[in-house]
Amino acid sequence: MRDGSGFRDGAGAPPQPASGAVSAVEVRGVDKVFETRTGQVQALDAIDLTVAAGEFVSLIGPSGCGKSTLMRLIADLDDPSSGTLTVFGKTARHARLDQEYGIAFQSAGLLPWRTVAGNVALPLELHGAPSAARSARVAELLDMVGLTDFADRYPDQLSGGMQQRVAIARSLAEQPRLLLMDEPFGALDEMTREKMQSDLVRISAETGAAVVFVTHSIPEAVFLSDRVVVMSPRPGRIREIVPMRLGADAKRAARTDELREERAFFDMVTAVREALHGGAPVGTGPRGMETR
Amino acid sequence: MLIWEAYKLLGPADGVVLGTTRILPRTTDLAMPHVWDMIGRLGEPVTRSPSAQPLWGVVALAALTTLGIAAAGWLVGVVVGIGLALVMQRWRLAEWGLLPWIVISQTVPLIAFAPVVKSWGSRVEIGSFEWQDWMSVALIASYLAFFPIAIGALKGLQSPDRIHEELMQSYAAGYWTTLVKLRFPASVPYLLPALRLGAANAVIGAVVAEVSTGLQGGIGRILIQFAGQASGDPSKAWAPIFGAIVLGLVAAGSIALLGVMLRNYRRTEEAV
């Protein structure tokens, strides 16, 4: 399949919420061209994608496939060259100004001069939340990510995993209906990573937020997602959208570490891997991919 | 201090002369008084008149005067320096346009324009406000102080990571919010050394400006005055030099104190 247009009504259609609410993200025919000194680079080509409210969607693909660029367009950190993009029915810019999404990057990006609590409180502070409500919300969030005892520490006193958890708590501060995450666990070791994935599954189930999750790791995408969007590079296109049976059948909260050892999990990993190679059965992951 | 005394003890009285050039100074009491003489002299009265104050008191008073002027100059330098940095950070074009001029400004010799500033100053009179001579000195001190502060503040304001800037953007934070919550705190590690350099420059500028504008009461004035009396009282000429050194230390020390107060802003993100 050349692009994702067929998935709107195809096998990979998102599970529609009963309320019929607007979808979290609607991407229609989006192109992104970067002007560089050596000419134009087509980063994204004719992208169509719908993310339903409350749905967990991963973007996966080799380096240069534009998955981070797509996420940045949704976040309104960049503008699409053509096509339309809406977030909860609003323009991306409007959605950003309304704080419809929370965002987390590969590095935690905490402000080093603020304590853990101060970092989590930052978005609330910027939007003028009253001080009492702010500290109550911060306590709640720190409890959710299990860092209550570290509220008064500074980022340099935390491990990488803890910093990333603070960043996730911060992204959840405004109770967004959409979470954008750009390889948030990419710099973590395997053990921490699995722990964080389980935490994220739990948190996203608790908050009911839709998630757009950019990753390099196939098992990570499979474990977390309702659907996995497989992208190919130069120009960046959606090659295939693989629905995760794990997501369709089971509730997200039911995803535990046991899932990682089930047969269905490995079948899904294989499905995604084959999609990355354009359908051909393969033994190893493509270049630039991590198979952990 | 040990080197001073050791050389005085061992070196030849007429210094070391190579050809016609004296490469090491004379070691007579006139050229190099003993350290203890210099310190002892501080406790004695300035002149032989019975009402004279002790030398250290005169030097301390002069040093305080100069410190006050230098501090005023430093404050003006901070305001101007940070102001310029803000303009340059906000508009790339301003950085291209301003930065070369800021650099060139520092190549003008201080001695050359100090009298000019003084003569301009003497013509300023706005209502009941009258330009004082010390203000000329403070202005010259600020001229030297603003440069490192402008450069350091610009670097600091530009220092936040892209990820932090985008984070602020994702929070829909405007320019001023980003400035207060992100850019100023992030610039502290760059600003502190710049402020220290600025303070040292302000002190030097104040002393030199006092000398070249002939302002009374500061340490620059007594430096010249006592140096003139050195042939009769060699240890006395060293007292203002000590005073100037202490002045510099006090200026640098206050910035160090500021650094201690702002220590949380000097943390880095990486785990230790």
Domains in chain B: boundaries: 109-120+130-257
Phi, psi of B172 (to 5 degrees): 55, 35
**Same domain as A247, residue A189:** yes
Taking CB atoms and an 8 Å cutoff, what residues of chain A touch B169? 77, 96
**Same domain as A93, residue A25:** yes
Contact A229, A238 (CB under 8 A): yes
**Same domain as A164, residue A83:** no
Q: How far is B153 from chain A (nearest CA, A)?
A: 18
Q: Which of A157, A175, A193 is the last residue of a domain?
A: A175
Contact A184, A172 (CB under 8 A): no
pLDDT by 10s per residue, chain B, length 272: 777 777 777 777 666 777 677 677 766 666 777 777 777 777 677 666 666 677 777 778 888 888 888 888 889 988 998 898 888 888 888 888 888 888 888 877 777 777 777 777 777 767 677 677 788 888 888 888 888 898 888 888 888 888 888 888 888 888 888 888 888 888 888 888 888 888 888 888 888 888 877 777 778 787 877 777 767 777 777 788 888 888 888 888 888 888 888 887 877 644 43
- Residue A149 burial (CB count, 10 A): 9
How confident is the model at residue B53, as a pLDDT? Answer: 72
Residue with tokens 């997602």: A225
CATH number of the domain at A247, please: 3.40.50.300
Taking CB atoms and an 8 Å cutoff, what residues of chain A touch B181? 122, 125-126
Residue A284 domain-assigned (yes or no): no
User: Which residue ranges of chain A lie beneath pLDDT 70?
Assistant: 1-21, 245-258, 261, 278-292
How confident is the model at residue B163, as a pLDDT? Answer: 85
For chains A and B, count residue pairs whose Cβ atoms are closer than 8 Å: 65
How confident is the model at residue B113, as a pLDDT? Answer: 76
Residue A137 domain-assigned (yes or no): yes
Among the listed residues A289, A271, A246, A244, the one whose alpha carbon sits nearest the alpha carbon of residue A63? A289
H-type alpha helices, chain B: 2-10, 35-43, 55-90, 92-105, 110-121, 133-157, 162-170, 175-178, 184-213, 219-228, 238-261
Instruction: Write the residue in B163, B172, B173 that is nearest to A109 by C-beta.
Output: B163
Tell me if B172 and A99 make a contact (CB, 8 A cut-off).
yes
**Same domain as A189, residue A95:** yes
Residue in chain B lying closest to A102 (CA):
B170
Q: Using CA atoms, how far apart are residues A41 and A64, in angstroms rounded to an integer?
A: 11
In tens, the pLDDT along A97-112 reads 888 888 888 888 888 8
How confident is the model at residue A17, as a pLDDT? Answer: 46
Q: What is the dihedral of CA B53, B58, B60, B64, to 10 degrees?
A: 130
In tens, the pLDDT along A274-284 reads 778 765 544 44
Residue in chain B lying closest to A162 (CA):
B271
How confident is the model at residue B222, as a pLDDT? Answer: 79
**Same domain as A15, residue A95:** yes
Residue A233 domain-assigned (yes or no): yes
Residue in chain B lying closest to A161 (CA):
B271
Residue A285 domain-assigned (yes or no): no
**Same domain as A254, residue A169:** no
> What residue numbers bound the domain in which A230 lies?
4-100+176-276
Residue with tokens 């009285």: B13
Q: How many domains does chain A have?
A: 2
**Same domain as A67, residue A22:** yes
How confident is the model at residue A30, as a pLDDT? Answer: 81
**Same domain as A191, residue A64:** yes
The contacts of residue A189 (CB under 8 Å, 6+ apart) are: A161
How confident is the model at residue B79, as a pLDDT? Answer: 92
- Radius of gyration of chain A measured on its C-alpha atoms: 19
**Same domain as A40, residue A184:** yes
**Same domain as A204, residue A96:** yes
Can you say how many angstroms the Cα of residue A130 is from the centroid of all Cα atoms in its chain? 30
How confident is the model at residue A285, as a pLDDT? Answer: 43
Residue in chain A lying closest to B182 (CA):
A111
Which of B163, B165, B178, B183 has the most A C-beta neighbours within 10 Å, making it the best mutation to test the interface with A?
B163
pTM of the predicted model as reported, rounded to 2 decimal places: 0.74
**Same domain as A219, residue A271:** yes
Q: Using CA atoms, how far apart are residues A64 and A59, in angstroms rounded to an integer?
A: 12
**Same domain as A93, residue A132:** no
Tell me if B167 and A126 make a contact (CB, 8 A cut-off).
no
Tell me if B185 and A113 make a contact (CB, 8 A cut-off).
yes
